[in-house]
Structure 1
């Protein structure tokens, strides 16, 4: 068989291509692996608190579609029983807002029970101990606002089990779900099916509901979270890294907040301890806010619950103006119905108040006199900063019937946190004598007593001749 010169040339070319392929394949494979590893590292941001699903054949289907979409970001930073549920409804009622109630509640529940945190692909890791969780808490808040649900532990988004103790050597776990699924608490997530999904799914299959949560977040114009578990010193990095983020700091008279905690059966320690802890937190947050205002002007708004209760419509418009938005008509209508239309109160944790102003000051008719004086002594610095009056000044204006309404039953119940029975009895006797003394003085006064009017304060800007704001001052105004 004969072959011309072209046949030999073709055979040589074929051998060359085979040699090239053999030599290049390992290099190409190495390049693909390198590019993929860099991509995966970028996807997880190198963050130890990242809960992204691992990329493998099994868990890739669980991955939540991710994209960045800018929006107005709001953190409502406050304290227990300070009217935050009511203020949070300004966002929950907005049709284009993603509002999440206490995103850190589930996280701290696991931390306090020394349990594990679960990622979307089912892997678990031990929760950090108290005092070592601050970075994780901050990252969790930011990830909610950025719609980075793929980075969140499942315990913050859905149904989970929490360790509550041991029965001998057997660990006892309890299922918690009502906190997220409370009717109306997350209006947008009720409407898009997320709440129904987690209510009808067993743990840990709740991860299939997470895309609904992220979809609701990505479609929103406003992303707001309310939290009791962040403090003002923690938001500095958030403000620096997130230019769209704004903070609303809500404060309430500590006496009203503590009475409300007592009525809601949340009092966990003596009055002295509760008052000291609350007022220390408020002062620290105030001092941190003053410093942050200088670095990030116009990014933090401070609200007193009493002002919001007295002027709910004006305060709500000011909140939206702070966010460079107009108060929607449907939110305005809800606000009117919730505060002015005499709708029935819907519980200690609800948002409906027959008369919001009366609710804000109802504690003055319920607090035992000596307890109020004790809180006054502990929280004097808070009063000086926010303009709250000492109780002696408030009580001097109350009617005789109001004084008599301070029942002994309530006083005894309020004092049950004091373990010293003798001291408790002594305090109660002092309180009863104070009531009798005030009652006798009131009987000596003319029958016509002016109704009790509480004076509150609003912040007023002081400008120079060029219109530049040089400081703010507290200006009193009367509440009707």
Structure 2
């Protein structure tokens, strides 16, 4: 008996739904914790215009930095727990943005917890761009994010493979990227400041010193913090988070990080050499392979366009909950943009965060090229180094496929190879994207 491909897809999706239902059925029921939600500040419209005034960044030499300093400033309430989701795509600078919260002593930070949902439900579809397949895990992802915001980390155990025994696991994805999971009381080892810095620079050192992660202790550490921050590249668009943003039990704010798609492509080619092998072949030979997967960059631009368009349309459900952040602005003016980011969130910026920025944005460009997941780099030089890594015809194709989002975000089009290589002329327009309250 023969089955059509549509039948096979339907059977696969049905199987995924059954797996998710089974996980939900047999998972321990979490105890609900209420988060206080304060009133929104007075309204203010989103502004997306070119700047005319010069503003300083983290030192006297930084001028003309985009800023939303004219926006109303939310008052800081130490008793109000804020949940932060960093919404991004792979190789857009999200690890760097995550560290801006990871370094804060009152923030419990989780790095890509949805990796486990994807691995459990869609193990063979990790690279898929089929819409039905990509949406299949969103229900599970939203439920898990809600639980994690409430510090119910036991919900994560349902997706970790093999499943933790006695709430203990050594399989949590990139545990070492979270300071909270490498520090007492979660980590029983005595890690002084120097050793703790080493653990975060070399994620494997955290696991070696601390041993298996006790999920219950991690949940206690989460509840002891004032705020929660979660980074994910596995939610395509901000509209996918609407149910959480409108949840009255959450004080959830979304930071959507975007980057020039041409920069994303160049970074992925360097980082994921096997997956992007044909792109590397195109760059080396000057001839585009006939079987090149163009969807690898098309999907990025489509998701950006839908999500950013939603945010800039200022729907009522995003009022005071959404901030659009360009990676290039953060890379050029890291301290200023971090201050503005914290101001939007209504959080007090700790000195430890500022110190980390100053120590991690003056690194060698050579270091960042050799260590693909490092956050220590010359951030300003890194922002547009894709211009010497892509061939002109690859840039032309990407511009054609992504023209709408390039225009919307203020990334300039290049029309000649000489223009592409002229690094004295930035391809990033001075724009400001104001949050609306």
TM-score, normalised via structure 2 length: 0.66
Query: Computing the radius of gyration over CA atoms, which structure comes out larger, 1 or 2?
Result: 1
For structure 2, which runs of at least 5 residues remain unmatched after alignment?
Answer: 1-20, 37-80, 126-131, 164-168, 190-205, 279-291
The answer to whether the 8 Å contact 1:307/1:456 transfers is no
Task: Tell me whether 1:376 sits opposite 2:394 in the alignment.
Answer: no
Following superposition, the deviation at residue 131 of structure 1 comes to 4.0
Specify whether residues 455 and 77 from structure 1 end up closer, same or farther in structure 2 by C-alpha distance, changes over 3 A only: closer
Following superposition, the deviation at residue 276 of structure 1 comes to 1.1
CA distance in 2, matches of 1:112, 1:176: 21
- 2:28 paired residue among 49, 53, 58: 53
Specify whether residues 254 and 130 from structure 1 end up closer, same or farther in structure 2 by C-alpha distance, changes over 3 A only: closer
Following superposition, the deviation at residue 455 of structure 1 comes to 4.2
Following superposition, the deviation at residue 196 of structure 1 comes to 7.1
Following superposition, the deviation at residue 153 of structure 1 comes to 3.5
- 1:187 paired residue among 179, 184, 205: 179
CA distance in 2, matches of 1:84, 1:276: 20
More helix by share: 1
The answer to whether the 8 Å contact 1:83/1:305 transfers is yes
CA distance in 2, matches of 1:97, 1:312: 19
Could you say which residue in structure 2 is the equivalent of 1:349? 373
Specify whether residues 291 and 460 from structure 1 end up closer, same or farther in structure 2 by C-alpha distance, changes over 3 A only: closer
Could you say which residue in structure 2 is the equivalent of 1:458? 431
- Show structure 1 runs of 4+ deviating over 6 A: 195-198
Could you say which residue in structure 2 is the equivalent of 1:26? none
Task: Tell me whether 1:272 sits opposite 2:294 in the alignment.
Answer: yes
- 1:261 paired residue among 234, 257, 268: 268
Could you say which residue in structure 2 is the equivalent of 1:74? 84
Q: Deviations over 1:91-145 (max 9, x none)?
A: 1111111000001001101212379xxxxxxxxxxxx976432211101111111
- Between the two structures, name the one with larger relative contact order (CA 8 Å, sep ≥ 6): 2
Q: Deviations over 1:248-294 (max 9, x none)?
A: 00000000001100100264573622221111111111123234543
The answer to whether the 8 Å contact 2:363/2:376 transfers is no
Could you say which residue in structure 1 is the equivalent of 2:303? 281
Task: Tell me whether 1:133 sits opposite 2:133 in the alignment.
Answer: no
Could you say which residue in structure 1 is the equivalent of 2:233? 228
Could you say which residue in structure 1 is the equivalent of 2:63? none
Following superposition, the deviation at residue 217 of structure 1 comes to 0.7
Task: Tell me whether 1:241 sits opposite 2:235 in the alignment.
Answer: no
Specify whether residues 98 and 372 from structure 1 end up closer, same or farther in structure 2 by C-alpha distance, changes over 3 A only: same
3-state DSSP of counterpart to 1:456 = coil
More strand by share: 1
Specify whether residues 51 and 76 from structure 1 end up closer, same or farther in structure 2 by C-alpha distance, changes over 3 A only: farther
- Number of corresponding residues: 327
CA distance in 2, matches of 1:248, 1:460: 12
Following superposition, the deviation at residue 347 of structure 1 comes to 1.4
Specify whether residues 250 and 98 from structure 1 end up closer, same or farther in structure 2 by C-alpha distance, changes over 3 A only: same
Specify whether residues 148 and 452 from structure 1 end up closer, same or farther in structure 2 by C-alpha distance, changes over 3 A only: same
Following superposition, the deviation at residue 239 of structure 1 comes to 0.9
Q: Deviations over 1:388-419 (max 9, x none)?
A: 111326842735xx8xxxxxxxxxxxxxxxxx
Could you say which residue in structure 1 is the equivalent of 2:220? 215
For structure 1, which runs of at least 5 residues remain unmatched after alignment?
Answer: 1-45, 55-63, 116-127, 162-174, 403-450, 463-468, 471-480
Specify whether residues 195 and 101 from structure 1 end up closer, same or farther in structure 2 by C-alpha distance, changes over 3 A only: farther
The answer to whether the 8 Å contact 1:258/1:275 transfers is yes
Task: Give RMSD over aligned pairs.
Answer: 3.6
CA distance in 2, matches of 1:99, 1:390: 37
The answer to whether the 8 Å contact 2:23/2:158 transfers is no
3-state DSSP of counterpart to 1:237 = helix
CA distance in 1, matches of 2:346, 2:408: 27
Could you say which residue in structure 2 is the equivalent of 1:4? none
CA distance in 2, matches of 1:374, 1:357: 25
The answer to whether the 8 Å contact 2:361/2:376 transfers is yes
Q: Deviations over 1:139-198 (max 9, x none)?
A: 111111111223334435xx638xxxxxxxxxxxxx98373234xx01111003546799
Could you say which residue in structure 2 is the equivalent of 1:143? 147
| Pairing 1:85-164 to 2, within 5 Å after superposition | 85-113=95-123, 131-156=135-160, 160=162
TM-score, normalised via structure 1 length: 0.61
